[in-house]
Structure 1
Amino acid sequence: MKRGLPGWATRLRVTLWTLIVPPTSWAAHFLFSYLWAAVSCAKVGAFATVPWLFVAGTVVALAVILTSGWIAWTQSNMPGDEPPHEDSTDIDRLRFLAKSTLLLAGLSFIGVIFTALPVVFIGDCR
């Protein structure tokens, strides 16, 4: 194991599939947020006073994004050559995809927060 990581974290590899996890989570949260607002406004006429379903969806999206970012961060910091990682080796490809996933995770985390802010600041459906 590297740097005290759990066994499952060292076996994971960042690929193009893992690259799309953070923006997909953000998009799913965005869709979920608008559906939740539409149903709340249609049924109740206002947002719920304690929107448990919305809070749970936001926490799940943020947890998925943070997990993906943590895996990418650990794999982008693997020991080896200094940047730029421009050679055609497996470790350089892994570092490039890991760094890209890390940046997308950061952007997606901010996107989920900004998607959730209207529920905090807007209390009605006008």
Structure 2
Amino acid sequence: MRRWLRRARKLRVTLWTLIVPPSVWAVHFLLSYLWAAISCAKIGAWARFPTAFAVATAIALIVIVASGVIAWQQSRTPGDPAPHQEGTDVDRLRFLAYSTMLLAALSFVAVIFTALPVIMLGDCR
């Protein structure tokens, strides 16, 4: 675990890493709605929480947690205390890391709330 955290500390947070958590949530959201539509249309009944959907949800959550851990490591980069008014490279890195961490938390909750109807509902009506 420590080796993984050291590796995460070396990675850099950029605008590309900022869009990973919401993109993963969007793909999971699309997958869950397509799964529900196809299972109700083709099978004619609500398929009970299949293994493929559970695996897709777990993968989405793992990717979001990984990006959040990387962002958390980067947000702990030493630098000037707040407020960050200078606009240095370290301040920008910490801002992007903090934003990514917040988006990862929001996306984690969104994936869980997207998966709940698939788990809880039992009818196609």
2:95 and 2:75 map into 1 onto residues whose CA distance is 8
Q: Name stretches of at least 5 consecutive residues in structure 1 with no aligned partner.
A: none
Residue 40 (structure 1) aligned with residue 56 (structure 2): no
SS at match of 2:85: coil
* 1:27 aligned partner, one-letter code: A
Q: Name stretches of at least 5 consecutive residues in structure 2 with no aligned partner.
A: none
SS at match of 1:125: coil
SS at match of 1:48: coil
TM-score (norm 2): 0.91
2:88 and 2:37 map into 1 onto residues whose CA distance is 49
Cα pair distance change 1:40/1:5, threshold 3 Å: closer
Higher helix residue share: 2
Instruction: Tell me what 2:108 maps to.
Output: 109
Cα RMSD (Å) of the superposition? Answer: 1.6
What's the CA shift string for 1:91-110, capped at 9, x where partnerless?
A: 00000000000111111111
Aligned pair count? 124
1:62 and 1:82 map into 2 onto residues whose CA distance is 32
Contact 2:13/2:71, CA 8 A, preserved across alignment:
yes
1:83 and 1:90 map into 2 onto residues whose CA distance is 14
1:6 and 1:117 map into 2 onto residues whose CA distance is 31
